[in-house]
Amino acid sequence: MDFLRPDMRDRLMKEHHEFRRLMEEHKHADERLVSLQTKPRLSARESLEEVELKKVKLRAKERIYRIVEEANRMSPQ
C-alpha cells in the first residue's frame, strides 16, 4: 500500500486493533487470491470466492486508508 509509510504502519500495528485486524484480513485474502490465480481453471465456486476475496481486500484497504488519514490528522506536524 503506497500511501502507508513504514513508521506509521508499525505504530498503528502496535496501537490500533482494527488496523492490525484489517491488515491481516487483507494479507490472508491476497494470499488466497494468489493461490487461486495460479490455477489454470477455476470452478464456479472458486470464481465466486475470487470475486468475494477482491471485495474483502478492497473494503479492508479503504478502511485502512481512512484509519491512516485519521492518524495523520491527529499526529503533530
- Residues 6 or more apart whose CB falls under 8 angstroms from that of 3 comprise 65, 68
Provide the pLDDT for residue 77: 57
CA 4 to CA 6: how far, in whole Å?
6
Which pLDDT tens digit goes with each residue over 23-63? 999 999 999 999 999 999 999 999 999 999 999 999 999 99
* pLDDT for position 75: 79
The pTM score is 0.87
pLDDT at res. 26: 97
Whole-number Cα distances in Å, 37 to 6, 19, 54, 66, 76: 28, 27, 12, 29, 43
Domain segments of the chain as ranges: 6-74
Q: Over range 6-35, report the average pLDDT.
A: 97
